Amino acid sequence: MTATTDARHLSTQDAGRIVRDHLFMHFTPHTGITGDDVPVIVRGDGAYVWDSHGKRYLDGLAGLFAVQVGHGREELAEAAARQTRELAYFPLWGYAHPTALELAERLAHAAPGDLNRVFFTVSGGESVETAWKLIRQYFKATGRPTKHKVISRSLAYHGTSMGALSITGIPGAKADFEPLVPSTMRVPHTNFYRATEHVDDYEAYGRWAADRIEEAILFEGADTVAAVFLEPVQNTGGCFVPPPGYFQRVREICDRHDVLLVSDEVICAFGRLGYDFGAKKFGYQPDIITTAKGLTSGYSPLGAVMVSDRIFEPFRNGQTFLHGSTYGGHPVSCAVAMANLDIVENEGLYDHVRRNEAAFRATLEKLYDLPIVGDVRGTGYFYAVELVKDKATKEKFTDAEATHILKGIVSEKLFEAGLHCRADDRAEPVIQLAPPLICDQSQFDEMEQAIRYALTTALSHL
């Protein structure tokens, strides 16, 4: 193939060869890959995508928790084309451009409380990295230079750059890159299904989990702890929903010890939970919100960090935040974000998620008749199905068993059934679902039937 060959018209043979010889895929084991065994996705429309062989898949993961408005939206392509013709690129380093201004104002007006300053990034990990750097400089600028440590939850994923990875609570994702940035610590997450404390009282369990944050602050010394990073609904481990009162208790603890609360909403913002921000759904006020993914429905790379007036104050009065990136706040990405948010609002997708989330849950709960299904949990359009060896005792599969079931059987059968979702064994084995916000009962039924097929096949091999 020459460099000028149109990539859209690659033959299957050429695509397989390039996958085998040149493409370095993300989070993908390459041992044994021939190239022919990697699906090449060539088209999307609504809730579906197609591969180069013409096979259709229901996108039950919205790409990667991102494609809120569905695939193939001409409005977003047209917004990008219009902006490209007018101003294709210019940085925000001492300059501004109209689409960044319009989007910053829109986000500031939508954000809860006084999160009136918006710092644009390119990705969710970069948003987390930006927030931690900003927090460190903020405390130095306000005369508290020893406050630099960060608390996050066990298993929580916050990104792959060295700072964000340090905040991440997944040991297996970190081992090959250590030593990482010091000064991070972990507290329990809120998987009530696996609770060992207050197992009969969900609200009390939430208070217990929140109080572990205060315990960590006091152990480290409040004069050293800068921030707590929490997702509204924790992704890794399978959609851990906060118990009632959990975030209100965390907010009280943070206020008591002069610790900032960062709501990492890279997945949860812009409709995934039926609201523009997860903090609104659960009724708490963060000091910073980190976002990306659904801001543009994945059509163009963009993230944003929303910052309270209090945190911005030193930068209003003499401090310079020596941080940025070439493409943060890219004009085309900002234009796509504006058009994407227009679609979300004009089509009432937040209300659509809230109206349909109970039906989504009820459809997935039909899977409880399978002995391998231990728990169905989540909220909005963000759910997980946890697999167990023994439903009565909640006995877990061994690591080897979980890998065999998820990677060796379930993933293959989900693919065969035409469902793109996540079969994740980074903690307990779960199947995760986060479909485009446009989905309705017909897609819920498709997901349930595909999962049932995959799990029934797995059961026959146990």
Residues contacting 106, CB < 8 A, separation 6+: 338, 341
Nearest one of 426, 250, 335 to 75, comparing CA atoms: 335
Task: Give 237: exposed, middle or buried? Use CB within 10 Å, 0-12, 13-18, 19+.
Answer: buried
Model confidence at 8, pLDDT cuts 50, 70, 90, reads low
d(Cα 177, Cα 240) in Å, to the nearest integer? 27
Model confidence at 158, pLDDT cuts 50, 70, 90, reads very high
Q: pLDDT per residue over 197-237, tens digit each?
A: 999 999 999 999 999 999 999 999 999 999 999 999 999 99
Token readout for 197 is: 């404390």
pLDDT at 13: 81
| Average confidence score pLDDT of the chain | 95
Beta strands 419-420 and 56-59, pairing class: parallel
Q: pLDDT per residue over 247-270, tens digit each?
A: 999 999 999 999 999 999 999 999
**Percent of the chain residues topping a pLDDT of 70:** 98
| Cβ(115)–Cβ(108) below 8 Å | yes
Token readout for 103 is: 């989007």
d(Cα 245, Cα 146) in Å, to the nearest integer? 30
- Least confident window among 92-101, 186-195, 417-426, 435-444: 417-426
Q: pLDDT per residue over 27-54, tens digit each?
A: 888 888 887 889 999 999 999 999 999 9
pLDDT at 1: 37
* Number of neighbours of residue 166 by Cβ within 10 angstroms: 22
pTM for the complete prediction? 0.96
- Count the helix, strand and coil residues of the chain and give each as a percent rounded to the nearest 5: 45, 15, 40
The helix/strand/coil state of 448 is: helix
Query: Does pLDDT of 5 surpass 50?
Result: no
**Beta-strand (E) ranges in 85-194?**
117-121, 149-153, 184-187
Model confidence at 455, pLDDT cuts 50, 70, 90, reads very high
Q: Checking phi first, is residue 159 left (phi over 0); if not, alpha (psi -120 to 50) or beta?
A: left
Query: Does pLDDT of 60 surpass 50?
Result: yes
Average pLDDT over residues 387-395: 95
Query: Does pLDDT of 425 surpass 90?
Result: no
- Structural domains of the chain sorted by starting position, each given as residue range(s) with its CATH number in brackets: 40-72+349-460 (3.90.1150.10), 75-347 (3.40.640.10)
Tell me which residue has tokens 């796509």.
336
Query: Does pLDDT of 460 surpass 60?
Result: yes
- Least confident window among 16-20, 174-178, 453-457: 16-20
Model confidence at 90, pLDDT cuts 50, 70, 90, reads very high
Give the CA angle between residues 276, 282, 284 to the nearest 5°: 95
Residues contacting 4, CB < 8 A, separation 6+: none
Q: Give CA separation, 148 vs 6, 134, 135, 151, 377, in Å.
A: 50, 11, 8, 10, 34
Average pLDDT over residues 412-438: 94
**Beta-strand (E) ranges in 218-301?**
225-230, 260-264, 288-291
| Cβ(438)–Cβ(444) below 8 Å | no
Model confidence at 4, pLDDT cuts 50, 70, 90, reads very low
pLDDT at 3: 40
Total residue count of the chain as it appears in this document: 462
